[in-house]
Structure 1
Amino acid sequence: MRFTWPFCLLLFLLPCLFLGGCTGDFSQPPVAKKGVLDLRHQSFEKKIALNGEWEFYWQQFIEPNDSAKHKGTLVKFPFKWNGYNLNGEELPAFGYATYKLTVLIPKDSVRLRISVPDMYCAYRFFINGDPVAENGQISTSAKGFEPHWAYGGANLRRGVDTLHLVLQVANFVHSKGGVSKPLFIAKRDIIELDRRRAEAIDLLLTGCLLMGGFFFLGLYLLGSRDKAILLFSLYSIVYSYRIIGTDNYVLHSLLPSIHWYIAARLEYVSLFLGLGLFGLYTRYIYPLDANKAAVYIINLLCFAFTIASLCLTPYYFTQLVNPFLVVMLFCLVYIPFVYARAYRNKRPGAIYSLMSAVALMSVFGISLFHYWALIPPLQLLSFIGYLMFFFLQSLILSHRVSFVLKKARRDAEQGLIAKSEFLSTMSHEIRTPLNSVIGMGHLLLKNNPRPDQVEHLDVMLFSANNLLAIVNDVLDYNKIEAGKITFEHIEMDVAAIARNVVAALKASAQDKGIGLRIKIDEGLTHKVMGDPTRLSQVMTNLVHNAIKFTHIGYVQVVVSVNGETDQTITLNIQVKDTGIGIPVEKQQLIFERFTQADSSTSRGFGGTGLGLAITKRILELQNAQLNLHSEEGKGSTFYFIQTFDKSAANAEQMQKDNLPAETQQPLTGIAILLVEDNPMNVLVAQTYLKRWGATIDVATNGQEALEKLDVTRHRLVLMDLHMPVMDGYESAKKMRASNVAVPIIALTANLPKEVEEQTIQAGIDDVMVKPFLPDELYRMVLHYVFRRG
């Protein structure tokens, strides 16, 4: 069976109606008859409403001790006089009147108290001739009249068995006149406890709404720019006034001097504007499920009511409640319908929306039935409903923010993947032409150029190598950020690496007119296990950085032994300079990515600002720390202390260090298959290999390589990995599948670790990274031709 929302609302409110009419013992509460209420047999353990027939005197302020005869009318209290037909005349809202009631109580009763609610719109209350409570200033005309709404009460004196109640009420501002809420009598502590409970609930709920509203407002302003979050925050803040500023009027008790005209406008504005904001919130949270036209009509009406409340006099804007109830009833049905549709369409957080709709319907339903005087306020049930509603709405927004964050995370991860792929592609595309530039530069230098040509070629090679260094820096930092950097653990000669770094950068130092020195500890006699590529990169970055910022003096590389055991050795590697130095306050700044000591440094010295950041991270990933001692104007010392495992092998020179000279043409009679689709790279490699005596066959793709490979003649295959028709991976796999044992060296612009897994699977023996130096290619070719040929 499918239940409609109004039917669900009725099902929810049935217990509320039952609770509202139930007294606990299922007996009817006593009511006044002909102006007398007999409570002599009541225990006063529960609140008793002073309802029933009261004497009503229109346009008369009867004083308690007035013994004159006055013509009154019995009315059913609580009684609003506007619209009442008295002697054939319909009473207006503006006017004044007196209500009278006699209450009989036990003479020896306990300490009692009467609670007095707000009235339209000022009153004065007497018990046995004594003024005990008042709100505002009553008057027989608008002149001198002051409206006010607040809770009141009066304690009864003991030893009295008859209470003569006189209630004078006046109204000259509101569209209603008289009394709409009952007075209650009970034991004093029961009345006071009930009031404190009501105030506590209102204050707690108001605090929750305000804190939640300001939290979501801050979330919107400082982070998410989701309009649904903004609208819900505004709704929570606006509606909080409905809790503390109406019904129990806790705010009026806290601020008794608050101006009635301001408070009344706020009461109606918070009602009208609150519903409009919630309608907009529903529209933004589920835009595909809410009818745009319906929501805009609701908002137009709500905002029109709001403007009217701000512009019209109270007499007019207080009459807007009844037409507004039509809008509210429509929303009570339509908003849950939107949430049900969102749930059916599997929108994020829709289950919470559906549950919150039930809570919202219950709260508004209780408010409506209480407004129509069908049930008591049921404040505890309303409080629970409010808490459920705002808690579930908070879950909706939290789920929404979480959903957005997860989506942003997925997009960011996809962006990182796209960035990595882009950088990998750019690496290949930049390194490939650089291979031709650097290769041709070295070839030209070997062909006895004129002195002026040597200078031009040096500049060209310097610029090409500088560009390559920048590309490598960017790629390295990207790999470090992505956590994809790996380290080799192979034998290396630290002293030789340091000497090579110094030799490679000596020309740069000489160009600036400074010295470049090296000092190696004589105690360093062992080779160690580590990553020679990364160590060379670290030392190169530090030395290059020192040369860049030194104008006068020297740069010195120092490698010293800090400690040694049978298995390990600890080295202190320092790079000292007599350059510009670094101020103390900026010594940590230089290790940030893309950053130098100040912007003028970048303009004056150039560079990406990545070198030191990369160096620092590479060392940290190897459990070492890059340190700095510097004094402005006197120079700097960068150093790190790192422990290495000693090499198990002896210090004999490797075969590649005893290679024959190029002029001997050691590859004479050796046939090599070169597989490369870039004509310039073919020219560079072909020229190198022919100078060393090799015979070269060229294939422009992997398929052609399979057709041209002759295992009886070819001693080595140099294979580019990225080619049309068939790439190098597939070609190598097919060669190995055909039992081809000829060594295959990959020529690629990718870094070795990036293609390591694929090359191993393809059966490729080694990788040569473009752009390569002639000596690097020479050594690798000889190594595989003579060791494996």
Structure 2
Amino acid sequence: MKGRHYLIACSTLLLTTWITRVHAVPGKDFPMAAGGVMDLRGWDLSEQPVRLNGDWALFWHQLTFPPDTPKGSPAFVTFPRLWNDLGLPNKGYATYTLTVLLPKPSYHLAMQVPDCYSCYRFFVNGRLICSAGKPDTTAERAEPHWFNKTVNIPDGADTLHLLLQVANFWHSRGGPYKQMRLGDRSALFLETDRNKAVDFLLCGCLFMGGLFFLGLYLFGRHDKAILFFSLFCVTYSYRLIGTDLYPLHAIFPDLSWFLTIHLEYLTLFLSITFLVEYVRRLYPEDVNHRYINVMEWFCIVFAVISVLTPPSIFTRLINPFLIVMFAYIVYTIYVYIQAARHRRIGSSYALMSMGVLMVTFTVLNLEYLGFVGRTQWVQAIGYISFFFLQSLILSFRFSHDLKQAKIQAEQGARAKSEFLSSMSHEIRTPLNSVIGMTHLLLMNETRSDQKEQLEVLLFSANNLLSIVNDILDYHKIEAGKIEFESVPIRLPELASNIVAGFASFAREKNIALHLDVDPGITETVTGDPTRLCQVINNLVHNAIKFTNQGSVWLRLKAEGREAGSLRVLFSVEDTGIGISPDKQRQVFDEFAQADSSTSRSYGGTGLGLTISQKLLRLRGSELHLRSAVGKGSTFYFSLLFPIVSEPAVQVAPVPKTFPHPGETLVPPAAVHAQLTGKPTETTPAAERPLADVCILLVEDNPLNVLVTTKVLNRWGAQVEHAGNGKEALEKLNPLVHRLILMDMHMPVMDGYSATMRIREMGLTLPIIALTASVAKEEHKALYNYYIDEVVTKPFHPDQLLRAITKCLISE
């Protein structure tokens, strides 16, 4: 790392030396004026322009207009040279003259006339060629202006009599300070246009880059480093067109000189202030904040002075400010070296950028002080390189912030997933007790008023469970954890099961529930029956809920066959309240319903349609809606199913609520017949299908133990309880226990560890997992632990009985 820093420093020094030598002001190689005369008769002006440097005749405190000639004896002074350096006052007026002897023939010549402090008129052979401002003998009549011009020289002349009027009453410096150049007309005009174009290009790039980073700050992460770099770019961009060649003044020649001079110095002081603050924000761990504060306040004080004082005062600040600026650049390089040592983000690029900036500012100030000639292309390359390297730094910084934000978002998503999983478990556990005890009470002899109250309790508990399931499903879809199965199914039977599952709900509302299946749908197809049922259940349940009279139709129509696949159109029609056109898009939004009164009147989370839409989109389909207020709604979608010849899988419907209380999914008599192999009985013995079956219940929740034990005892089973996996291993007797009901989340030893220990002991008795988790991946993991069946809490008693029956029959 140290070697790289040394290499950068050496490269910077060598580049500065090379630029200084290449662009140094020539001496012997170019002709020089002497005694107010410059002899160019031996110079080919078409090959290379010449600088009109040397001794010009100076007439102090005279403003002579051709054809008059200056009075008195002139003083021959070096041109260009500030009055301050000649021992003259910085405020005043003067006339310069020079006679130029041209080679013959001299055609198609032009002259570059730069700005002076602070206004000038330029005459050639008695003719006014150009001017900037209005030189005069008093400040009241004079008018300052800065303007660089390239002007044509009359053809055919063999001698040029140059007369330059200069006046200054406002600036801390006075007189000419830039070189005049005489040469081929086309070459000089091309050079002038090219230089102005470069300035405008650089200004535009810097200004637009500043706006880009400002937008990145405002609409992205609010990184103050990005903000201050954008402010630096915007403020410094003015200096590219408002100084040196002053191309801005060529476009707006009437701009006030007093306004532009204030802007010229103010933008310099502010841009360095923003650059100082940018470095502080970029690497705050590596800067000396006290030193940075001093430099920043120094720049701010200079900026305030440039606003509040006249040019004659604040223009004196430039030399001390240049010293501060170089000190800042050196310190910034030190900061970047420290940042590189500590491996900060983009520190290597930062170090290179400051090296480039130091070279650029060095060359710029050498040109300003007159030690080198025009270095515009070097400056252009320097500015572009600096901006590019700084952009790389901020890009790395921004991408790093995005990466950190992504990591935090993933951590937040994991935390949310764990929270929802935990809350699901915590909610389902007490719900299991509520629903289980309600079922037990309904199994007993109850009065009609008690039965009605228990049914309301069960309905409410099931609705709460439905809300929990919706939230979990929505989270799984958003997290991209939804998996689709592909198993053989028969669509007519699936639709029939769904209609049967909602029959009691429709009867309660006195609504006719119909099924219309296209006779052409006869093939067995493959798909995910669980998710398909979930979508149709949501639609049918909503149709019944929002219909007060009339009917609900579930329709299946074959739309066509293509390449061994069947496309089916599913639609659910109702004669309910309908949805207004302006609200039809809203019903598919998360947690949204047509309006707030709908939620108050009918309840619900508003997630059912959202989940259905997202599930269908994952399958390449879309849920559509046709509706009219007061006339009903039709939700429809189409799916493409591959046709197979395998037997279909029978899947029980999963309605939004459990079956109506009193309905039995699996009659106990049928279970008894399956277990005993005897015909179905109607005797009391048939109501005890698990008679003489001893079950080990491993559960740590006392309420769940109570509910499960009473349900099993009602079916004739003998139940022994263990509070955790360790206790279960101690109580387990394979000669006595025919089956284990294992809760998976328990203290001391959980169900996973206990199950593994049982299987390691070589015991093969059935184990049914009781879990509050509904995640399919967790259920798959349970089967990997040699679990025979999984029952999700809260469970319907008949669901538990069906799982026990299946395990005991296959035992």
TM-score normalised over the length of structure 2:
0.91
In structure 1, C-alpha distance between the alignment counterparts of 2:614 and 2:363, rounded to whole Å: 64
| Percent identity between the two aligned chains | 48
- 2:728 pairs, out of 702, 705, 709, with 705
Task: Identify the residue that residue 35 of structure 2 maps to in structure 1.
Answer: 34
In structure 1, C-alpha distance between the alignment counterparts of 2:352 and 2:7, rounded to whole Å: 15
Task: Identify the residue that residue 671 of structure 1 maps to in structure 2.
Answer: 694
Distance change >3 Å, CA 542–CA 415, structure 1 → 2: same
Q: 1:159 and 2:153 equivalent?
A: no
Q: 1:550 and 2:573 equivalent?
A: no
Q: 1:60 and 2:72 equivalent?
A: no
- Could you say what secondary structure the match of 1:714 adopts? coil
- 1:580 pairs, out of 562, 577, 582, with 577
Task: Identify the residue that residue 783 of structure 2 maps to in structure 1.
Answer: 760
Deviation at 1:621, TM superposition (A): 3.4
Maintained 8 Å contact 2:110/2:152: yes
Deviation at 1:487, TM superposition (A): 3.0
In structure 2, C-alpha distance between the alignment counterparts of 1:30 and 1:265, rounded to whole Å: 38
Deviation at 1:503, TM superposition (A): 4.3
- 1:421 pairs, out of 418, 428, 435, with 418
- Could you say what secondary structure the match of 2:122 adopts? strand
- How do residues 766-777 of structure 1 correspond to structure 2 at under 5 angstroms? 766-777=789-800
Deviation at 1:535, TM superposition (A): 3.3
In structure 2, C-alpha distance between the alignment counterparts of 1:715 and 1:181, rounded to whole Å: 107
- 1:17 pairs, out of 20, 43, 61, with 20
Q: 1:290 and 2:287 equivalent?
A: yes
In structure 2, C-alpha distance between the alignment counterparts of 1:283 and 1:706, rounded to whole Å: 65
Task: Identify the residue that residue 136 of structure 1 maps to in structure 2.
Answer: 133
Maintained 8 Å contact 2:9/2:355: no
- Could you say what secondary structure the match of 1:396 adopts? helix
Deviation at 1:570, TM superposition (A): 5.7
Task: Identify the residue that residue 659 of structure 1 maps to in structure 2.
Answer: 671
In structure 2, C-alpha distance between the alignment counterparts of 1:27 and 1:5, rounded to whole Å: 35
Task: Identify the residue that residue 388 of structure 1 maps to in structure 2.
Answer: 385
Maintained 8 Å contact 1:569/1:646: no
Maintained 8 Å contact 1:752/1:767: no
Residues 589-609 of structure 1 deviation map (CA, whole Å, 9 limit, x = unaligned):
322222222333223322111
Task: Identify the residue that residue 331 of structure 2 maps to in structure 1.
Answer: 334
- Could you say what secondary structure the match of 1:617 adopts? helix
Deviation at 1:124, TM superposition (A): 1.1
Report the AA paired with residue 53 of structure 1: D
In structure 1, C-alpha distance between the alignment counterparts of 2:215 and 2:651, rounded to whole Å: 68
- 2:438 pairs, out of 429, 436, 441, with 441
Maintained 8 Å contact 1:83/1:92: no
- Could you say what secondary structure the match of 1:224 adopts? coil
In structure 1, C-alpha distance between the alignment counterparts of 2:204 and 2:319, rounded to whole Å: 29
Deviation at 1:444, TM superposition (A): 0.5
- Could you say what secondary structure the match of 2:175 adopts? coil
Report the AA paired with residue 77 of structure 1: F
Report the AA paired with residue 741 of structure 1: T
Deviation at 1:129, TM superposition (A): 1.6
Task: Identify the residue that residue 52 of structure 2 maps to in structure 1.
Answer: 50
In structure 1, C-alpha distance between the alignment counterparts of 2:135 and 2:560, rounded to whole Å: 98
Report the AA paired with residue 734 of structure 1: R
Residues 233-284 of structure 1 deviation map (CA, whole Å, 9 limit, x = unaligned):
1111111111001000100111111110001111111111111111111111
- 1:691 pairs, out of 709, 714, 717, with 714
Residues 258-317 of structure 1 deviation map (CA, whole Å, 9 limit, x = unaligned):
110001111111111111111111111111112211221111111111111111011111
- Could you say what secondary structure the match of 1:417 adopts? helix
Task: Identify the residue that residue 677 of structure 2 maps to in structure 1.
Answer: none
Deviation at 1:12, TM superposition (A): 2.3
TM-score normalised over the length of structure 1:
0.94
Task: Identify the residue that residue 302 of structure 2 maps to in structure 1.
Answer: 305
In structure 2, C-alpha distance between the alignment counterparts of 1:529 and 1:503, rounded to whole Å: 22
- 1:104 pairs, out of 76, 87, 101, with 101
In structure 2, C-alpha distance between the alignment counterparts of 1:526 and 1:61, rounded to whole Å: 108
In structure 1, C-alpha distance between the alignment counterparts of 2:289 and 2:587, rounded to whole Å: 55
In structure 2, C-alpha distance between the alignment counterparts of 1:377 and 1:651, rounded to whole Å: 86
Task: Identify the residue that residue 745 of structure 1 maps to in structure 2.
Answer: 768
Task: Identify the residue that residue 675 of structure 2 maps to in structure 1.
Answer: none
- Could you say what secondary structure the match of 2:43 adopts? coil
Deviation at 1:370, TM superposition (A): 1.1
Deviation at 1:198, TM superposition (A): 0.8
Maintained 8 Å contact 2:171/2:315: yes
Task: Identify the residue that residue 198 of structure 1 maps to in structure 2.
Answer: 195
Maintained 8 Å contact 2:485/2:527: yes
- Could you say what secondary structure the match of 1:253 adopts? helix
Residues 94-130 of structure 1 deviation map (CA, whole Å, 9 limit, x = unaligned):
1111111111111312321111100011111111222
In structure 2, C-alpha distance between the alignment counterparts of 1:74 and 1:130, rounded to whole Å: 23
Report the AA paired with residue 694 of structure 1: A
- Could you say what secondary structure the match of 2:263 adopts? helix
Deviation at 1:484, TM superposition (A): 1.2
In structure 2, C-alpha distance between the alignment counterparts of 1:756 and 1:769, rounded to whole Å: 9
Maintained 8 Å contact 1:5/1:336: no
- 2:646 pairs, out of 648, 656, 666, with 648
Report the AA paired with residue 746 of structure 1: A
RMSD over equivalenced CA pairs, Å: 2.6
- Could you say what secondary structure the match of 2:93 adopts? strand
In structure 1, C-alpha distance between the alignment counterparts of 2:468 and 2:313, rounded to whole Å: 75
In structure 2, C-alpha distance between the alignment counterparts of 1:359 and 1:75, rounded to whole Å: 37
- How do residues 272-283 of structure 1 correspond to structure 2 at under 5 angstroms? 272-283=269-280
- Could you say what secondary structure the match of 1:468 adopts? helix
- 2:86 pairs, out of 84, 95, 101, with 84
Task: Identify the residue that residue 410 of structure 1 maps to in structure 2.
Answer: 407
In structure 2, C-alpha distance between the alignment counterparts of 1:328 and 1:62, rounded to whole Å: 42
Task: Identify the residue that residue 247 of structure 2 maps to in structure 1.
Answer: 250
Unpaired segments of 5 or more residues in structure 1? 86-90
In structure 2, C-alpha distance between the alignment counterparts of 1:542 and 1:738, rounded to whole Å: 49
Residues 133-172 of structure 1 deviation map (CA, whole Å, 9 limit, x = unaligned):
2111111111210000001233222332222211111111
After TM superposition, the structure 1 stretch with the greater mean CA deviation from structure 2, 465-474 or 217-226, is 217-226
- Could you say what secondary structure the match of 1:668 adopts? coil
Q: 1:778 and 2:801 equivalent?
A: yes
Distance change >3 Å, CA 68–CA 681, structure 1 → 2: closer
Maintained 8 Å contact 1:31/1:50: yes
Distance change >3 Å, CA 518–CA 650, structure 1 → 2: closer
Deviation at 1:221, TM superposition (A): 2.1
In structure 2, C-alpha distance between the alignment counterparts of 1:125 and 1:564, rounded to whole Å: 91
Aligned residues: 781
Maintained 8 Å contact 1:122/1:147: yes
After TM superposition, the structure 1 stretch with the greater mean CA deviation from structure 2, 161-170 or 143-152, is 161-170
Maintained 8 Å contact 1:593/1:610: yes
In structure 2, C-alpha distance between the alignment counterparts of 1:130 and 1:651, rounded to whole Å: 105
Report the AA paired with residue 19 of structure 1: V
In structure 2, C-alpha distance between the alignment counterparts of 1:241 and 1:181, rounded to whole Å: 21
Deviation at 1:3, TM superposition (A): 4.5
After TM superposition, the structure 1 stretch with the greater mean CA deviation from structure 2, 259-268 or 513-522, is 513-522
In structure 1, C-alpha distance between the alignment counterparts of 2:475 and 2:25, rounded to whole Å: 73
Unpaired segments of 5 or more residues in structure 2? 653-664, 673-679
Task: Identify the residue that residue 88 of structure 1 maps to in structure 2.
Answer: none
Distance change >3 Å, CA 165–CA 489, structure 1 → 2: closer
Residues 365-402 of structure 1 deviation map (CA, whole Å, 9 limit, x = unaligned):
11111122111131101100000001111111122221
Maintained 8 Å contact 2:107/2:156: no
After TM superposition, the structure 1 stretch with the greater mean CA deviation from structure 2, 214-223 or 128-137, is 214-223
- Could you say what secondary structure the match of 2:208 adopts? helix
In structure 2, C-alpha distance between the alignment counterparts of 1:762 and 1:63, rounded to whole Å: 108
Deviation at 1:671, TM superposition (A): 1.3
Maintained 8 Å contact 1:529/1:647: no
Distance change >3 Å, CA 504–CA 67, structure 1 → 2: closer
- Could you say what secondary structure the match of 2:29 adopts? coil
After TM superposition, the structure 1 stretch with the greater mean CA deviation from structure 2, 483-492 or 445-454, is 483-492
Maintained 8 Å contact 1:752/1:769: no
Maintained 8 Å contact 2:744/2:751: yes
Report the AA paired with residue 671 of structure 2: L
